[in-house]
Amino acid sequence: MLGFGEKHHAIDPTILPIFVHSLQSAEAFSLAQKVWENNGRYVMLDPANKKELMRFVFSQPACVVWLQRDQGRTDTFELILMWDENSQKQEITEVYIVAALAGVAIGDDTRAKGLLNAILASPAIVPVNPNKPVPTTPSQ
The low-confidence residues of the chain, meaning pLDDT below 70, are 1-16, 85-90, 123-140
Is 55 within the bounds of a domain?
Answer: yes
Is 134 within the bounds of a domain?
Answer: no
The whole-number pLDDT of residue 92 equals: 82
- List of long-range contacts for 38-42, beta carbons under 8 Å, 24+ apart: 38/120, 39/127, 41/129, 42/127, 42/128, 42/129
The whole-number pLDDT of residue 67 equals: 95
The whole-number pLDDT of residue 1 equals: 40
The whole-number pLDDT of residue 9 equals: 54
The whole-number pLDDT of residue 129 equals: 54
Domain count, the chain: 1
Distance from chain centroid for Cα 89? 20
Q: Read off the pLDDT of residues 37-75 as tens digits, 9 standing for 90 and up.
A: 988 888 999 989 999 999 988 877 788 899 999 999 999
The whole-number pLDDT of residue 5 equals: 47
Whole domain around residue 57: which residue ranges? 18-127
Alpha carbon distance 66, 42 (integer Å): 12
The whole-number pLDDT of residue 133 equals: 43
Is 12 within the bounds of a domain?
Answer: no
